[in-house]
């Protein structure tokens, strides 16, 4: 049984722990930047929990987060500066998609991403922008993201592709 909900400040520590299980330290978001993000855009910080039979939370399994902005491209400054968040921005940026290593390959990131996509559509946004390593391009293409080539990002000293999912605006 699992549950999807938005992050609260009390979740910051376990989110930072999971981030370090998923990313090398030079790419991982720090505890203080995670706290800032939750304070600034809690309703753009989705968590998926594995739950006990009585519904209580057992383990944080996956999370997805990012600010919204009118800027079309994800730039490195956004990771560290929550002040760049604009609640009315057209684009939902995604800074991270993490699943606990012992829960990977079970469809949890897919489930959470589908929820992010549906919430973001409901919020009336134009679409979603993320950067990823080449090996995950196929994973995001399954949701309809289209690669826009190598991004300007030098985050963690590696090469990132920028990918965009554009909703049909009615």
Ligand X SMILES: CC(C)(COP(=O)(O)OP(=O)(O)OC[C@H]1O[C@@H](n2cnc3c(N)ncnc32)[C@H](O)[C@@H]1OP(=O)(O)O)[C@@H](O)C(=O)NCCC(=O)NCCS
Q: Where are the beta strands (DSSP E) in the chain?
A: 2-6, 45-51, 57-65, 68-69, 91-94, 96-99, 127-132, 146-150, 161-166
What would the x/- binding string for ligand X be over residues 102 to 131, using CB under 6 A? --xxxxxxx---------------------
Q: Is 99 in the site for ligand X (CB under 6 A)?
A: yes
Separation in Å, CA 93 to CA 50, 63, 87: 25, 14, 12
Q: Which of residues 25-54 bind ligand X (CB under 6 A)?
A: none
Q: Is 138 in the site for ligand X (CB under 6 A)?
A: yes
Q: How far is the CB of 69 from ligand X (least distance, A)?
A: 18
Q: Is 135 in the site for ligand X (CB under 6 A)?
A: yes
Q: Which of residues 143-162 bind ligand X (CB under 6 A)?
A: none
**Site residues, ligand X (CB under 6 A):** 22-23, 62, 97-99, 104-110, 132, 135-136, 138-139
């Amino acid at each position: 049984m699992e549950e999807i909900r938005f992050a609260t400040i009390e979740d910051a520590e376990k989110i930072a722990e999971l981030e370090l299980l998923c990313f090398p330290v030079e790419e991982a978001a720090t505890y203080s930047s995670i706290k800032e993000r939750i304070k600034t855009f809690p309703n753009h910080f989705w968590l998926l929990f594995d739950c006990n039979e009585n519904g209580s939370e057992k383990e944080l399994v996956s999370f997805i987060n990012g600010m919204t902005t009118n800027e079309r491209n994800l730039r490195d400054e956004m990771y560290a500066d929550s002040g760049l968040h604009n609640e009315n921005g057209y684009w939902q940026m995604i800074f991270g998609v993490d699943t606990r290593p012992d829960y990977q390959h079970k469809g949890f990131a897919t489930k959470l991403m589908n929820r992010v996509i549906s919430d973001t559509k409901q919020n009336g946004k134009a679409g979603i922008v993320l950067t990823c390593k080449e090996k995950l391009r196929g994973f995001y293409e399954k949701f309809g993201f289209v690669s826009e080539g190598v991004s300007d990002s030098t985050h963690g000293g590696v090469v990132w592709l920028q990918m965009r999912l554009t909703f049909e605006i009615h």
